[in-house]
Amino acid sequence: MALTLEQRPAKLAMARSNMTFVLSSTQTGQTGFKYVVIVKDGATQIGKYYISQDPNGYMIFNLQKLAEDLVRVDVSDGNDSSKIMFEVPHDTDFLLSPAPNGIKQLTIEFGEVYGDPLVEYLTLITENILLIDGLTPYSLGINYTYPDYQASSATQKVWLTERKLSTDNPTGELAIVIEANEQDFGVMGFWNDGTGLITSSAEQVQYKIYNSVGVQGSDTIDIDPANGIGTPASVITENKLCYMGVYPGNLNKAFSPFNPLFSPQNITGWTYYTIQLLDATVNPMSRKIVVVNTEGPCKNESATIYWTNELGSWDTFKTYGRTDKNISSKGKNYTKPIWNTTTRSFNSFDRQDTAFGIDNKVELTLRTGVISNAERTLLASVVKSKQVVVYYDSEYIPVIPNTNSLRTYENRSKIEQVEMTFTVAQQEV
């Protein structure tokens, strides 16, 4: 008995991507030979497969079909499933949230069966995979390890957002730039594992807030259970993906672990703040998030779009253009024979349409106002998202992007506006 693992996907894998294992064996000539694959989620077996060899004696097994529905980016706070994720913290200091649904650790056991009678030789090779609700572009290959998202230096992006890095911010550094005000809420994710499945040296989060004079306050919290999630050394899978409330509304809450004296609402004339991951000796382990204080135009009621991105976390964008909410109704009919009262029987050929219900469809049309090309590119990812939620009129509304719903209006120098149309889903968040 000798199995050889010829190819495997990366230890961190996106569930909607190709996850191909290739094995060879020295026993392929045996009577009744087949490869055996057992897949476990923790201690629970979720699949067992007997796979014939290909013409060259290899086994090719793609985990994608089994795995793609096992994970789903969390909508609810991992510390309180009755509360929405976007408004963490919901309890004292729990600004960091684990991901009970957004990440899984799968164990894949490989063996073989052959002989007369057949004998199974199991668990000859064991492999582990961290599974994320994301998608790896084919151009990056099946073994892509996402090096720019693993917290190992100040030049790593790390934050799980499809926003592009930009120097167009008050620090002048390459950073993730967000324009927001004190009424805005949102989260951003990062991978939190120091056990070897992912490389992460981040153990702290640093927050600094500025006004026109300069820095007005600074505070640091540990990545640990006191702030809502396990340390990077934790072996509990849900702790390996962390969602953090990074918007002013999150930091203004009384439950925020940062010093309340430095919350945006308590700094007069604050202009921006930064958030960055640090290691145990206070060395930067990520690019900064720079949140710029930006008041939108008040002539229209704003709406906020939250959507799951291809990195397995949430992205957020606020629109300031006019928002329309439209309800259309359509009757649903059925055809039935006509009853003849004289003959007391149904006519052989006469039919009539009878209404038996009404279909109501609610649509939201959101308009951004003037935005940049980078923001337009970011919004293009909304139409590919598995989960989209719109905050409008003081409620979170699950929606589905309409086909060809992204329309762009532009002039020579800038994008004037992006318009997006969504159908309200028939479920609640």
Cα three-residue angle 322-325-330, rounded to 5 degrees: 150
How confident is the model at residue 337, as a pLDDT? 63
Q: Give the single-character DSSP code of 374.
A: H
Domain 3-94+102-137: which CATH number of 3.30.465.10, 2.60.40.1930, 1.10.10.10, 3.40.50.300 = 2.60.40.1930
**Dihedral of CA 113/118/121/127: which sign?**
positive
Q: Among candidates 66, 14, 19, which has minimal Cα distance to 312?
A: 14
CA distances from 52 to 119, 127, 332, 383 (A): 15, 20, 50, 39
- Residues 28 and 382: their CA atoms lie apart, in Å, by 47
Phi and psi torsions of 252, nearest 5°: -80, -15
Q: Among candidates 127, 144, 108, 103, which has minimal Cα distance to 240?
A: 103
How confident is the model at residue 291, as a pLDDT? 98
Specify which residues 216 forms β-bridges with: none
The answer to whether domain 3-94+102-137 and domain 322-429 are alike in fold is: no
How confident is the model at residue 326, as a pLDDT? 85
Strands 12-14 and 119-132: parallel
Two tokens, residue 34: 């087949």
The owner of tokens 């921006």 is 272
How confident is the model at residue 428, as a pLDDT? 42
Q: Which residue stretches of the chain have pLDDT < 70?
A: 1, 298-299, 329-359, 411-415, 426-429
Every domain of the chain and the residues it spans: 3-94+102-137, 322-429
Q: How many C-beta atoms surround the C-beta of residue 308 within 10 A?
A: 24
How confident is the model at residue 371, as a pLDDT? 86
- Residues 94 and 79: their CA atoms lie apart, in Å, by 8
Q: Could you say which architecture CATH assigns to the domain 322-429?
A: Beta Barrel (2.40)
Give yes or no for a contact between 123 and 5, defined as CB atoms under 8 angstroms apart: no
Q: Give the single-character DSSP code of 58.
A: -
- Residues 70 and 131: their CA atoms lie apart, in Å, by 9
Give the three-state DSSP class for 396: strand
Q: Which amino acid is at 350?
A: D
Using CB atoms within 10 A of its CB, is residue 135 exposed (0-12), middle (13-18) or buried (19+)? middle
Give yes or no for a contact between 203 and 222, defined as CB atoms under 8 angstroms apart: yes
- Residues 266 and 216: their CA atoms lie apart, in Å, by 10
How confident is the model at residue 427, as a pLDDT? 46
Q: Among candidates 178, 159, 181, which has minimal Cα distance to 168?
A: 178
**187-207, pLDDT tens digit by residue?**
999 999 988 888 889 999 999
Q: Which amino acid is at 413?
A: S
How confident is the model at residue 412, as a pLDDT? 61
How confident is the model at residue 341, as a pLDDT? 61
How confident is the model at residue 413, as a pLDDT? 58
CA distances from 34 to 23, 59, 66, 123 (A): 12, 9, 20, 14
How confident is the model at residue 296, as a pLDDT? 77
Give yes or no for a contact between 325 and 345, defined as CB atoms under 8 angstroms apart: no
